[in-house]
A and B are shown apart, each in its own frame.
Chain A
Amino acid sequence: MPDLGISVLFKGKNLPRLLGGLWAALRISLISVVISFPLGILLGALMTLKNPFVKAAMRIYLEFIRIMPQMVLLFLFYFGTTRAFGWDLTGETASVIVFVLWGTAEMSDLVRGCLISFPAHQYETSEALGLGKAQLYRYIIIPQAVRRLIPLSVNLVTRMIKTTSLILMIGVVEILKVAQQIIEANRTASPNAAFGVYLAVFFLYFIACWPISMLAQYLERKWG
């Protein structure tokens, strides 16, 4: 049995430090979700309007954010703004800004797709039943939209959590960075620590994301 370097995890405060790193990643995701989801819903609803100016502006925003690798955005906001505008953003703030921009774009596209997917007959039927516009949205469109959106947006949350693994590049000490620090610190005492520590990171990401995707699956089945 080769030395898998698992013992390193139990030395000193290594495990609590990893958990702290996980929390840093989850915290940034959570803040970004809380800000970007309402914004995304609002923008998504705006995108269904027929106004060509709003449509074009949204389209450009959406394509830009989605085509751009998140890493480039992170560098742009963390390093770029410091020199250009003299902003002194912390790594965490820059991360939240990028994740909010990204999350809002993705969410608005989900909302837009969901709203336009309602067949015309649902609108006509409720009109024919004498429902007003407000009643149409309250009783017909929104309840169905929420059901369809929940699994999709839960999916987006897990994608956000996974993407936080990039923010160590702008100096945020999250789980992956902590893992690297632990491996470095134990390079001579436990040269095989990389395996054990990254394995722990693997399981910690899994523990964070798995319940969320289970929840998505459950809701999908329940409301599908």
Chain B
Amino acid sequence: MDHVTKRFGNHTVLDDISLTVHRGEVIVVIGPSGCGKSTLLRCINALEKIQGGEIKLGNEKIEYGSKRLPSLRQKIGMVFQNYELFPHLTVLGNIQLAPVKVQKRNLAEVQAEAIGWLDRVGLEGRENSYPRELSGGQKQRVAIVRALCMHPEILLFDEVTAALDPEMVREVLDVMLALAAQGRTMLIVTHEMRFARAAADRILFLDGGKIMEDSDPETFFTHPQTERARRFLSTFQFDNIKKL
């Protein structure tokens, strides 16, 4: 990403952001609500139009509305906050749709791969269930498998646990930790600080549409460089709360 700027009307959401993600790197993006984290991810696969700068995957430019976009997006797996499965398709139907119809891969091969992944994320035997029969955490794991079966070069996770009950958060984070350990390239937006610390190679702290900090998790969580980051992190501490 090079000098990317995104505005909604007069409001600048991303302000001259430059960022390089290396292969195999796990980057966790954190920051207060409205700081532009989600917009950052949405710009990367051109769900949002950018007003300045450019975004490249490898050597190819990602451009809103371009003809090449559908094929580029196949290399970018994205998982959204609200486990957005298609309600009229089964688990397997959801997973195999894009690999078979878009990438024209062999159905049996895709299904075997899908079932293999479902087993690994703890959803064995659920391939013929409909999304409405699954819990939020299960749906989110299916959404992750759906993204994986596209064989993406990079995975984007947009607050994937924000809409889940606490017990379900863990099962989804475990899957993501396992993927991180496999050396996949991932860009994760989250509010789960402990997970961020455990999974990330790099932490980006965003505020007001700018990257305020870009450091390794140890440094960020123990010695944040900016006052803004210190204040943000302190909101997750409950040790010094005064009794009323």
CB distance from B182 to the nearest CB of A (A): 21
Interface residues of A in 3-49 (CB under 8 A from B): none
Contacts of A125 in B (CB 8 A): 80, 84, 86
Q: What are the 3 A-B residue pairs with the smallest beta carbon separation, nearest first?
A: A129-B98, A130-B74, A130-B73
Residue pair B47, A129 in contact (C-beta under 8 Å): no
Contact bitstring B49-89, A, C-beta under 8 A = 1, else 0: 00000000000000000000011111010101010101110
A127 within 8 A of B: yes
Across-interface contacts of B243 in A (CB, < 8 A): none
In the complex, what distance in Å separates the CA atom of A164 from the CA atom of B203? Answer: 69
- Among A121, A126, A131, contact of B82 (Cβ-Cβ < 8 Å): A121
**Which residues of chain B are within 8 angstroms of A69 by Cβ–Cβ distance?**
none
Closest to B132 in A: A224
Known contacts A121-B80, A124-B84, A131-B102; 4 additional CB pairs below 8 A are A125-B80, A128-B76, A130-B103, A143-B88
On whether the beta carbons of B101 and A124 are closer than 8 Å, the reply is: no
Is B180 part of the binding interface, using a Cβ–Cβ cutoff of 8 Å? no
Most buried by A among B86, B87, B150: B86
- Determine the interface band of chain B, counting residues with CB < 8 A from chain A: 20 to 34
A144 vs B87: C-alpha distance when bound (angstroms)? 8
A135 and B84 contact, CB distance less than 8 A:
no
B14-37 interface mask toward A, CB cutoff 8 Å, 1 = contact, 0 = none? 000000000000000000000000
Choose among B45, B101, B103, B150 the residue that contacts A139 (Cβ–Cβ < 8 A): B101
Contact with B along A128-144 (1 / 0, CB 8 A): 11111001000110011
B210 within 8 A of A: no
- In the complex, are the beta carbons of A131 and B86 less than 8 A apart? no
User: What's the Cα separation between A30 and B97 when bound, in Å?
Assistant: 37
Q: Which B-chain residue is minimally distant from A124 (CB atoms)?
A: B47
A147 located at the interface, meaning its Cβ lies under 8 Å from any Cβ of chain B in the complex: yes
Is A122 an interface residue, CB under 8 A from the partner?
A: yes
Chain B contacts to A: CB under 8 angstroms: 45, 47, 70-74, 76, 78, 80, 82, 84, 86-88, 97-98, 101-103, 146, 150
Cα–Cα, bound, A140→B94 (Å) = 10
B146 touches A129 (CB 8 A): yes
Cβ B47 vs Cβ A130 within 8 A: no
Which residues of chain A are within 8 angstroms of B73 by Cβ–Cβ distance? Answer: 127-130
A140 B86 Cβ-Cβ under 8 A = yes
Within the complex, the shortest CB–CB distance from A148 to chain B, in Å, comes to: 10
Tell me which residues across on chain B come within 8 A of A147, comparing CB atoms: 88
Give the nearest-CB partner of A132 in chain B.
B70
Complex Cα spacing A122 to B83, Å: 11
Show 22 A/B contacts (Cβ-Cβ < 8 Å), sorted by A.
A122-B86, A124-B80, A126-B86, A128-B76, A128-B78, A129-B98, A129-B150, A130-B70, A130-B71, A130-B72, A130-B102, A130-B150, A131-B70, A131-B97, A131-B101, A132-B70, A132-B102, A135-B102, A139-B97, A139-B101, A143-B88, A144-B87
Most buried by A among B80, B88, B97, B150: B88
Minimum CB–CB distance for A31 against chain B, Å:
32
Q: How far is the CA of A122 from the CA of B70 in the complex (A)?
A: 16
Question: Could you tell me the distance in whole angstroms from the C-beta of A106 to the nearest C-beta in chain B?
Answer: 24
Within the complex, the shortest CB–CB distance from A116 to chain B, in Å, comes to 17
Decide yes or no: A128 and B70 within 8 Å by CB, A121-B84, A140-B86 being known contacts.
no
- A140–B146 CA distance with the chains assembled, in angstroms: 15
Chain A residues closer than 8 Å to B86, beta-carbon distance:
122, 125-126, 140, 144
Please, which residues of chain B bring their CB within 8 A of the CB of A144? 86-88
